[in-house]
Structure 1
């Protein structure tokens, strides 16, 4: 088998029992999604995009998004998402030649997806389908899928230079439970702690804010996509106290992790516009 030279994605099934709105979520890779039940309203730059059950969409990387997920009783909200490296989008568009790439990456709907494209999306999302293929074939399948999305109106906008904040988030995401310190980060980026602190301040953030926010957004993903207990989710993102984890989660998102999973608590306000806490994170 040929060595895989890029991360092979697998579809993530996102389930949510309670209605909630999550502010300032940022993906570190673009996402191809299909809403399977309920409704998703995603907003960027004050432009909302509504995706009802059956709709396909493209969510950009490193673009702050507000995500409102609305279950339709008696079913949970459910979406399948495929995280695809940006380079594959750029390669696919280069091969298409005539595609008009937007100057800004914004959420987009892929309208009137043909059956062949829908079947390819389902194939790529199934665990194991792409990983057992040679790298060149897996890449070709994903680029074909990206091309279908583009032909149906969902084209990924141009990327901007990654901020130091984004690079730091990528590093923390490799192991959110690790005891990361400013010293670790400064060493990884070949700069002094004072320089790193100053550069992050210039981006209106700090190491501790990015660390906390990255962990909370990974936790949100685990709550939505796994059956892990809340105590295990807490451990996975570096919290040894489940109660401390639950309090921090609610502070960040305005709802408890149990509400997100089960919809078991009344909510008078949906989500919360909190003070900026580092980067704006993975959208779901």
Structure 2
């Protein structure tokens, strides 16, 4: 039996049945939590919002994320690292052979992630990051999962087991740190749906603040909503052009520009600023 198959079979025991929360994932902010998702039918969950840093382990089947204007598909044996505040649409597909989709979700308290981050150089995860489920990461997740589901271990011991997972992520340079500034929070929102008509009113509502407070905070950080919109959209379109080989028009539309010419102008202007 291959190593990959052995790893997945160990984790399947943690995901034997569906125990997802009614709301995803509204749990106490000060404790770690584990949920399992099991389905025999293709399911689409629109507008998912993950307020806390999380990992999703795809044990069986595949998952599709619709985010940042892109459709990303991940198969069994993948760990998705999601920063707090991540948003997007999710599609869970059962495995064609077994007819089952299984995944393990672990949510981390902000304080625990911040504590782990102090042991590593600055890291920033503002988009989903996928990692292969190797033996080291799988062992940490399995150990933490058993502790979270036991119902008998002391909270301090469970915390140590969860910290194992965060330590492995830190060693890989992908700790799911929460945006520290208003600018980063705004960038995260725009990346989720770059072609949306983002306004100060909409963004302020999403961040739970007022237009005036949003503008004041961005000014204090030496930026503006217009600058952030341009930055995120141009960077995303440039990534699409370099990684996927799509046309200029397709990249512009995906990034939220209706006019390829306007996008090209913004890209040139941004490159000029970067070279000054």
Give the structure, 1 or 2, with the largest relative contact order (CA under 8 Å, sep 6 or more): 1
**TM-score, normalised via structure 2 length:** 0.49
**TM-score, normalised via structure 1 length:** 0.48
Q: Which has the larger radius of gyration?
A: 2
Choose between structure 1 and 2: higher helix proportion.
2
